[in-house]
Chains A and B, each alone.
Chain A
Amino acid sequence: MPLSTSSNFARPDDAFRAIVEAHRGLTEEQSADFDAALVLILANHIGDIDVLREAIGLARRRMIDGQQQQQQQ
């Protein structure tokens, strides 16, 4: 099964908000720790190495695009 990039939540704002609120009140360091744990939990839930690799690829491309935009500014 390929990585799903269509919108899967009935209420996407709730999902985004839940993650944002989980970070509220955390220091940068704590936020990074939290993200690391969350990524591992979600990766295991997906449980499909190909989907995980695709997700990693998508995230890395976003990062590279972001850097290029910054350089152009």
Chain B
Amino acid sequence: MAPANTHQAKTQFGYRRHPDQDRSGPSPAAHPVVIVGAGPVGLSLAIDLAQRGQRVVLLDDADRIGEGSRAICFSKRSLEYWDRLGVGDRMVEKGVVWSVGRIFHGEQQLYQFNLLPEDGHKRPAFINLQQYYAEAYLVDRINELPEIDLRWRNKVTAFEQRNDSAVLTIETPDGAYRLNAQYVIACDGARSSLRQMVGAEFAGQVFEDQFLIADVKMTAEFPTERWFWFDPPFHAGRSALLHRQPDDVWRIDLQLNRYADPVVEKKPENVRPRIARMLGHDKFEFEWISLYKFQCRRMDRFIHGRVIFAGDSAHQVSPFGARGANSGLEDAENLSWKLDRVLRGKSPASLLESYHIERSAAADENIRESTRSTDFMAPNSHQEARLRKAVLSLAKETEFGKRMVNGGRLSVPCSYDSPLSSLDADTWRGGPSPGSSMLDAPVATLAGEQIYLTDAFRKGGTDFTLLSFSNGGPIDAPDGIKGIRMGGEDGLADPSGLVAKRYGAAPGAAYLLRPDGYVAARFRHPTRSAIAAALARAEGLY
């Protein structure tokens, strides 16, 4: 059903004819990058590439932002990425911030968890924000970037792989035209047509249980927390989820059985009593109702010649864990800097292979985590149900039982076992190891401004960056690498001591950060040659 249009964001866009469409004959217009699909992943990737100076053509087969809230939980990592794309503040201002979840069994609370129990981070563990807002804000940002050519109602219908490019056939209201692209990035979602065109398999585990999403508008006093029930009194024998979104909209997710009739179950008159039973009243309006089943699967390879897959087109997970959109955004930030370097001839095309290695491993982790959650919610056999029953009953009185209750393990950045990482040569106690994401912490500038380490990284240009901890002496770093200096006469101050603590760093130590904020290498006693070697490795130069 259509959402009640209560939100203030532009979601309808117009098709416009482009001069590329007037070119006929054997040589279509050529572009370095064509992104297919203007969802959160394609939009973010386009902005990232444009900010790195690349010209991007972004195609979408529709002329409007999709209906319904869909993805609603955006992770700290995604917000830090959006900060770099210039949209983080807007997302956080509109979104509802949360970090606490509660798990109930029947009427009893089993336990609660806090996903970010410590201070000193710019961004919260999560915000909830309807996907249409996220997409609308990204489109607004794109309109500020002349490098991006966003073409609505441009549907890719055919595709031809060449040695050093790909040729797309695109259907528009004015008829078909062709484009030549050095690289095509397929961000065209779970039903990716490009995936079908390259003939790639997309196999995995199918889950038979059905889930009903109802986004309802109501004024309610529930706290801004993620509430998850096993076997609640209002929905016996199954699971339920309640989660707040902006504009007094609440996400309710109810597990149905595998034999439920989707057409019948989706009818508002049938959904209403279910929700009323849960809330204890029926003073609510429907924003969106959807019934879904899901699969956990990924492509064998994320790169097919000149076509690179990112987001749901490459991998799908169950929704419990907020690992769908967030992992797609991690794909975008992983791919963007590599593609930029390859297009500039600064790194060999083989650097792109590390995108496949790192992000397919991340997809495996996300699939494993979300499959475990789903199996716990919907046991596959009597014995699995029995083990779950034992866990839920043990959780009432034991800590280990609480920890085994799996109502969704929420998205955190993956650590990569990557060919781009240099192994530690020194002994470290604590701190992010090579292949892990950088950690945030508060810092102060010379002028006394209170900012965060992620701000300093972004302001430095989101490139290879040496984060060094001053011991008074100069740091001998290779040319062409950005620097964030902690301490010393001209460095950032660490007033809370959290930077040194989180990085397990003594004076003299240094971290080499990649353009996506991942740690490439770290040194207790950095030398120019060791940094240069780690840099070359992370750039894919050997």
Residues from chain A with Cβ under 8 Å of B400 in the complex: 44
Residue of A nearest to B389 (CB): A33
Residues from chain B with Cβ under 8 Å of A36 in the complex: 383, 386-387, 389-390
Q: How far is the CB of A60 from chain B (nearest CB, A)?
A: 14
Q: Tell me the residues in window 12-45 of chain A with beta carbons closer than 8 Å to chain B beta carbons.
A: 32-33, 36-37, 40-41, 44
Residue of B nearest to A43 (CB): B400
Residue of B nearest to A37 (CB): B390
Q: Quick check: is B425 within 8 A (CB to CB) of the other chain?
A: no
Residue of A nearest to B404 (CB): A40
Most chain B C-beta atoms within 10 Å of own C-beta, residue among A32, A36, A41: A36
Q: Give the number of residues in A that approach B within 8 Å (Cβ atoms).
A: 7
Q: Quick check: is B343 within 8 A (CB to CB) of the other chain?
A: no
Q: Does the CB pair A33–B386 fall under 8 Å?
A: yes
Q: Quick check: is B475 within 8 A (CB to CB) of the other chain?
A: no
Residue of B nearest to A34 (CB): B390
Secondary structure of the A side of the interface?
Answer: helix
Q: Quick check: is B394 within 8 A (CB to CB) of the other chain?
A: yes
Q: Tell me the residues in window 356-405 of chain B with beta carbons closer than 8 Å to chain A beta carbons.
A: 383, 386-387, 389-391, 393-394, 398, 400-401, 404
Residues from chain B with Cβ under 8 Å of A32 in the complex: 383, 386
Residue of B nearest to A29 (CB): B386
Q: Does the CB pair B386–A40 fall under 8 Å?
A: no
Residue of B nearest to A32 (CB): B386
Question: For the complex, what is the distance from the CA of A33 to the CA of B401, rounded to whole Å?
Answer: 15
Residue of B nearest to A40 (CB): B390
Question: For the complex, what is the distance from the CA of A33 to the CA of B404, rounded to whole Å?
Answer: 17
Question: For the complex, what is the distance from the CA of A36 to the CA of B404, rounded to whole Å?
Answer: 14
Q: How far is the CB of B511 from chain A (nearest CB, A)?
A: 31
**23 residue pairs from A and B, CB less than 8 Å apart:** A32-B383, A32-B386, A33-B386, A33-B389, A33-B390, A36-B383, A36-B386, A36-B387, A36-B389, A36-B390, A37-B390, A37-B393, A37-B394, A40-B387, A40-B390, A40-B391, A40-B394, A40-B401, A40-B404, A41-B394, A41-B398, A44-B398, A44-B400
Give 19 new A-B contacts, CB below 8 A, not counting A36-B389, A36-B390, A44-B400: A32-B383, A32-B386, A33-B386, A33-B389, A33-B390, A36-B383, A36-B386, A36-B387, A37-B393, A37-B394, A40-B387, A40-B390, A40-B391, A40-B394, A40-B401, A40-B404, A41-B394, A41-B398, A44-B398
